[in-house]
Every structure is written in structure tokens, then in C-alpha cells.
């Protein structure tokens, strides 16, 4: 497995693979790798000859009061995980090389980014789109794999691909969960043992929705029930619960029968912010 940190070497390596007629997949991550990331790597390996995992804690997607400084960084373990997973190159660029002084060009998706996490994390998706496009330009992948865990991010990346004619095929991998249902996340490390127990309520609440749907409740009633269900845990603070159309991300009040809805939840335990979601058919 190659360990690459310079942008030029990464670009050249990808060019070399393309010259050998190999297909290249990229799995962009911020490191602190876990089973969720590994599932993305497996999906990438099934689809391409060579797999690049980028590990870059991207400063431009963090707000001023967010956890950029404290975000878990476990590079040595990450490299072992990548090697065991059969990754061909780990790309770990530095912040100064990715964002040289006077960087002043950003990519901003202007509609879908306004909803859900966009209402809470101003500038977050601008940072995400910018770094993803930069990684695409440097790694030149045929395929890139993202997780349904960050449902809004995946939808926005697909929109950016379409709007800017970027020749990369996007694959969305399903959410990997702990045995008790909690969506695996690098940020779960922030939870105390007591909070970790309480955090199982997030997915439990989402699973309840299917039962409630059978009771012919309205979207608003289901949303209220979700809030009450989650608030049973004392240390949890709901950031948002939205029930939205899976394409437009706009809130739906009276869905058509068969319409696909995304139920997206963001909560805080203290300063740790966790997100989860499910898709349901109305």
C-alpha cells in the first residue's frame, strides 16, 4: 500500500494507474476510521481495480465553534486498517498544501445546502463541496464512494457532479451500525458510557416510525412522537428532526402514497453532535 502526502505524487500515481487501464475509486474520509469507512472501502474494491482512501480533516467544513481542533486523529491505526482492507493508496495531504495562502475559490451548492444541517452549520457544505472537488481533481477517480450516514452530503455531492459535469460516478453505501443500532461515527468517541447507552434511542426512534405509519398518523404527528421518544433520554438535546422529500430535501406535510421520505435527526450530547437517518416509503 502506498502512503502519499504530496498532491503531485497523488496526481501522478492516479495517472499511472489510468495509463495501465486500471479503474480508480476514491473513498474520502476525515480518518478515525471505523467499520462504516471499511464498508465504503469494500464497496470501492468491488467496483474498481485501485482504491484510494483520503484522510484529511478538512478545516473549511468546520464552523468556528465546532470540533476541528478536537476531532479524533488516529493516523497510525487508520493506516493499519487501510492496509488490512486492501487499500492501494492512502492519501494524507497537509492543510497548507490543500489550502495555500490566499486560496479564495470555493464551491457552493446553493439550494439543497440550505436545509437540514445547512440551517445549523453555516458554510459546512461549501467546505465539503470544495474539498471533494479538490480531491477529485487531485486523485482523478472514476468512482467515489460516500455513506448514506451523511444523507444530505451524498445528495449534495451528486448534485454538484451533475451541475458541474464532473466525470465521476458516485456510489452511496448503506449506514453501518453498532449491534445496538447506533450509527457508527468517529464522533461516538466523545460520548461518556452513560451517554453511549442513551444514544441508542436515536435509531430506536427511527425504527418506531414504521409502526406509527401503520397507525395512519400524519407527518406532523409522527414528528411529534419522534421528539417525545428521543426526549425520554435526559442528556440528549435535539438539534433537529426533519421529515423531507428525498430529492428536494424540503419538508413534506402531506406526502403522496408511495412517496419516499427521508427522516433525518441531529442531536447533541453535550458538545457531541450525532446524526442519523432512515428512508421510508409513505
Asked if residue 200 lies in contact with residue 182, where contact means CB atoms within 8 angstroms, the answer is yes
Handedness of CA 215, 182, 87, 107 (dihedral sign): positive
Under rule CB under 6 A, residue 149 binds ligand AMP: yes
Q: Is 123 left (phi over 0), alpha (psi -120 to 50) or beta?
A: left
Site string for ligand AMP, 29-58 (x = CB under 6 A): xx-----xx-xx------------------
Judged by CB under 6 A, the stretch of 45-53, 70-78, 102-110, 146-154 that binds ligand AMP is 146-154
**Residue given cell 455513506 in the structure block:** 147
The residues that are catalytic are 37
- Residue closer to ligand AMP (CB basis): 109 or 150: 150
Under rule CB under 6 A, residue 152 binds ligand AMP: no
Under rule CB under 6 A, residue 14 binds ligand AMP: no
Residue choice 78, 109, 150, 233 for contact with ligand AMP (CB under 6 A): 150
The Cα diameter of the chain in Å comes to: 58
E strands, 12-63, in order = 24-29, 50-55
Q: How far is the CB of 110 from ligand AMP (least distance, A)?
A: 21
- Residue closer to ligand AMP (CB basis): 30 or 129: 30
Under rule CB under 6 A, residue 184 binds ligand AMP: yes
Cα–Cα dist 125/107, whole Å: 9
- Residue closer to ligand AMP (CB basis): 37 or 45: 37
Cα–Cα dist 164/155, whole Å: 14
3-state helix, strand, coil in the chain (%, to 5): 40, 20, 35
Size of the site for ligand AMP (CB under 6 A): 17
Helix (H, G, I), strand (E, B) or coil at 74: coil
Under rule CB under 6 A, residue 186 binds ligand AMP: yes
Neighbouring C-beta atoms of residue 194, cutoff 10 Å: 12
Q: How far is the CB of 195 from ligand AMP (least distance, A)?
A: 18
Asked if residue 116 lies in contact with residue 249, where contact means CB atoms within 8 angstroms, the answer is yes
- Residue closer to ligand AMP (CB basis): 99 or 212: 99
Under rule CB under 6 A, residue 185 binds ligand AMP: yes
Under rule CB under 6 A, residue 24 binds ligand AMP: no
Cell of 253: 406535510
Q: How far is the CB of 214 from ligand AMP (least distance, A)?
A: 28
Cα–Cα dist 187/190, whole Å: 6
* Residues contributing to the site for ligand AMP (CB under 6 A): 29-30, 36-37, 39-40, 146-147, 149-150, 173, 175-176, 183-186
Amino acid at each position: 500500500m502506498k502512503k502519499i502526502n504530496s498532491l503531485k505524487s497523488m496526481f501522478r500515481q492516479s495517472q499511472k494507474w489510468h495509463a495501465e487501464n486500471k479503474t480508480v475509486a476514491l473513498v474520502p474520509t476525515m480518518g478515525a476510521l471505523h467499520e462504516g469507512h471499511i464498508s465504503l472501502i469494500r464497496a470501492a474494491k468491488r467496483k474498481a481495480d485501485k482504491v484510494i482512501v483520503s484522510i484529511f480533516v478538512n478545516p473549511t467544513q468546520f464552523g468556528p465553534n465546532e470540533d476541528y481542533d478536537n476531532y479524533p486523529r488516529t493516523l497510525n491505526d487508520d493506516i493499519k486498517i487501510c492496509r488490512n482492507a486492501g487499500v492501494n493508496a492512502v492519501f494524507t495531504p497537509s492543510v497548507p498544501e490543500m489550502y495555500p495562502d490566499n486560496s479564495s475559490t470555493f464551491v457552493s451548492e446553493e439550494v439543497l445546502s440550505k436545509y437540514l444541517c445547512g440551517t445549523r452549520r453555516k458554510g459546512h457544505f461549501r467546505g465539503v463541496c470544495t474539498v471533494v472537488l479538490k480531491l477529485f481533481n487531485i486523485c482523478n477517480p472514476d468512482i467515489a464512494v460516500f455513506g448514506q450516514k451523511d444523507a444530505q452530503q451524498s445528495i449534495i455531492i451528486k448534485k454538484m457532479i451533475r451541475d458541474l459535469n464532473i466525470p465521476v460516478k458516485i456510489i452511496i453505501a448503506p449506514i453501518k451500525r453498532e449491534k445496538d443500532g447506533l450509527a457508527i461515527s468517529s464522533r461516538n468517541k466523545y460520548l461518556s458510557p452513560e451517554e453511549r447507552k442513551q444514544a441508542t434511542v436515536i435509531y430506536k426512534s427511527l425504527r418506531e416510525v414504521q409502526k406509527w405509519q401503520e397507525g395512519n398518523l400524519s407527518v406532523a404527528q409522527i414528528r411529534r412522537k419522534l421528539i417525545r421518544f428521543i426526549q425520554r433520554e435526559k442528556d440528549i438535546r435535539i438539534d433537529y428532526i426533519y421529515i423531507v422529500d428525498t430529492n428536494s430535501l424540503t419538508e413534506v406535510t402531506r406526502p403522496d402514497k408511495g412517496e419516499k421520505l427521508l427522516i433525518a435527526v441531529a442531536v447533541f450530547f453535550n458538545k457531541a453532535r450525532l446524526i442519523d437517518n432512515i428512508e421510508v416509503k409513505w
